[in-house]
């Protein structure tokens, strides 16, 4: 049974089709948006794991080559390593292949920790690990190679039957569940997930630092067998990136973004109810920081869908 809500899946597919219809894009605009998303991805992915650089500081380190006073050298190196891994990710995404291999996962990991964990870069762990604050205990190190081989077989079987977003989300979780490396598992999983997504035409999907607690919460739910919550979480991250691209390149789909409180005025729905709809993916909404936004057009579409469902 599919884990991705059919309404959200339909919305994702429609937005991807709209985005593809806008191609070819202006190369200068693509380059600028890619740079923006790479900085965002590097900042957020590293910050989730405890990196202390701010978004602005990450930009200065990567684009201006600056050293931030008072910030650890390790944090600077992690930012540079992650950017190198992103460059490799874009190279992988451009290749005409739908399969990601163990070798590619290890290459991504090697780049992510090249300057901070050089001894173990690209190498499976040979000892136990503990995930702080989580109930899940990863498999024994001796079992990691077999579990990764099983993961690759799972991917080969399901890549033609599952929706790309659902496949990428489950793939992400399964990598973290095995926890094949001593460090850098989360960053590697988020990159590997994006290889899957971008090869199917989706833009780079970013998990925000502001959603860190929710991210870990839905990962833990997936560990216990409830993978639907994690698939929804990842699908909303994918939709956010689609919205960013559509707003950058489309001149017809840019309804005014309103806070949920403003959007609810004059409608049959309160702001709290719209928040529930946004968090559960049932309405077209966009998250900035910790605040959800939507458009009046999205509310009209949702109401029309509800009326049709009652007929």
Catalytic residues: 179
Residues 287/215, Cβ–Cβ less than 8 Å = no
Sequence-ordered list of residues with C-beta below 8 angstroms from that of 136, at least 6 positions apart, any chain: 177, 220, 223
The helix/strand/coil state of 71 is coil
Nearest CA to 235 out of 278, 203, 265, 205 is that of: 205
Cis peptide leading into 132, omega within 30 of 0? no
Nearest CA to 52 out of 66, 33, 71 is that of: 71
Residues 176/185, Cβ–Cβ less than 8 Å = yes
Nearest CA to 242 out of 289, 203, 279, 208 is that of: 203
Q: How far is CA 93 from CA 71, 99, 202, in A?
A: 33, 11, 10
25 backbone dihedrals φ, ψ, rounded to 5°? -85, 160
Range list of β-strands (E), the chain: 258-259, 285-288, 291-294
């Amino acid at each position: 049974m599919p884990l991705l809500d059919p309404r959200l899946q339909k919305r994702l597919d429609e937005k991807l089709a709209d985005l593809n219809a806008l191609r070819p894009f202006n190369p200068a605009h693509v380059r600028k948006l890619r740079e923006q998303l790479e900085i965002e991805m590097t900042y957020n992915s590293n910050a989730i794991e405890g990196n202390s650089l701010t978004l602005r500081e990450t930009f200065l380190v990567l684009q201006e080559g600056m050293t931030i006073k008072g910030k650890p050298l390790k944090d600077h190196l992690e930012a540079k390593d992650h950017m190198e891994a992103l460059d490799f990710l874009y190279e992988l995404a451009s290749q005409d292949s739908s399969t990601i291999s163990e070798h590619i996962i290890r290459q991504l990991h090697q780049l992510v920790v090249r300057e901070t964990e050089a001894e173990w870069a690209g190498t499976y762990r040979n000892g136990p690990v503990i995930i702080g604050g989580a109930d899940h205990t990863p498999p024994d190190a001796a079992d990691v190679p077999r579990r990764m081989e099983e993961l690759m077989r799972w991917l080969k079987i399901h890549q033609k039957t599952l929706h790309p977003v659902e496949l990428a989300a489950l793939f992400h979780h399964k990598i973290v569940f095995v926890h094949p490396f001593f460090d850098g598992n989360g960053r590697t999983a988020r990159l590997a997930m994006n290889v899957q997504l971008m090869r199917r035409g989706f833009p780079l999907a970013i998990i925000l630092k502001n959603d860190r607690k929710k991210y870990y919460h839905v990962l833990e739910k997936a560990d216990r067998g409830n993978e639907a919550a994690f698939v929804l979480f990842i699908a909303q991250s994918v939709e956010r990136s689609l919205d960013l691209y559509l707003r950058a390149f489309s001149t017809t789909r840019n309804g005014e973004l309103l806070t949920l409180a403003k959007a609810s005025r004059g409608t049959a729905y309160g702001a709290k109810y719209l928040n529930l709809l946004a968090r559960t993916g049932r309405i077209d909404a966009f998250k900035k920081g910790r605040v959800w936004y939507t458009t009046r057009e999205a509310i009209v579409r949702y109401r029309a869908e509800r009326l049709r469902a009652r007929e």
